[in-house]
Amino acid sequence: MFILKFFRCLLAFTFICCFSYNTIQAQELHADLYVIGSSQSQSQGKWHMKSQRIGNKLFPYHVIFTNTDGVKTTEEIITFKENLFHSYTCIRHNIGETITVTMAADHIEYKRLFENTETIKKRELATNFLAGPLIVPYIQKHINDLKKGNVHNIEYAAISHLRTIAFELKIEKELSTADRLVFKFNPKNFLFNKFVDPIYFYLSPSGDILYEIVGRTAAVTRDNDTIIALDSHYIFKPMIYTR
């Protein structure tokens, strides 16, 4: 009898451990990066993101960009507290720059460390605040409302400017098809619109499959003393991004 109870307890413990693992199981997403407009003929490297389930939601927490030589150029790290966004860090290894965005009780702090100089900017708290790779999870969460044509106002962390910038997120019905929806993410400010092209996200109508992203990335390149933002065409594999 004792042995039977022992194995029952062991089986129950194993089941609980497996269930707990599955509820926070990390999911990995990969993409090849190409020069925009090159018809996928000019590679820019690769992109790799790890996500994990916390409760019943999927949160990205680590992103790596590598160049065509396989060298890691950029990392993005996202942390959460009680399922809410807490901080975002972008490490640009190729230029020696680290930028961190942290949610404080009464402000958003932007901190940049570059060439042994630390710069800190405090910005006002913002509603619908997003940073780094959190745009796709937002689209997935609100996809039914976006499909109706409603425009969402997003406050986005423009890390290179150490400030929060107002963006619009909406569906592009002219570019969308029955099996592939296109969402446009662009700055509301006229001046930023002149210098920053929109970012386009291609997803399935359910939002569970991410096909492509076209636009600005967190990575940069350097030409002597000039830092150049990297725009890319992401082609995802595998494409399923389960919520």
Q: What is the pTM of this model?
A: 0.85
C-alpha 233 chain-centroid distance: 15
What is the rounded CA–CA span in Å between residue 52 and residue 43?
28
- Please state whether the peptide bond connecting residue 187 to the residue before it is cis, i.e. omega within 30 degrees of 0: no
Tokens encoding 11: 């089986």
Tokens encoding 18: 């497996």
The string of pLDDT tens digits covering residues 121-145 is 999 999 999 999 999 999 999 999 9
Does residue 49 contact residue 60 with C-beta atoms inside 8 Å?
Answer: yes
pLDDT of residue 32: 97
| Percent of the chain clearing pLDDT 70 (strictly above) | 87
Torsion of CA 213, 217, 220, 221, to 10 degrees: 10
The string of pLDDT tens digits covering residues 204-237 is 999 989 999 999 999 999 998 899 999 999 999 8
Burial class (CB in 10 A: 0-12, 13-18, 19+), 53: middle
pLDDT of residue 189: 82
The three-class DSSP label of residue 133 is: helix
How crowded is residue 14: how many other Cβ atoms within 10 Å of its Cβ? 10
Alpha-carbon distances of 210 from 180, 201, 227, rounded to whole Å? 9, 8, 30
Residue 197 pLDDT level (bands cut at 50, 70, 90): confident
Q: What is the DSSP string of 73-86?
A: EEEEEEEEETTEEE
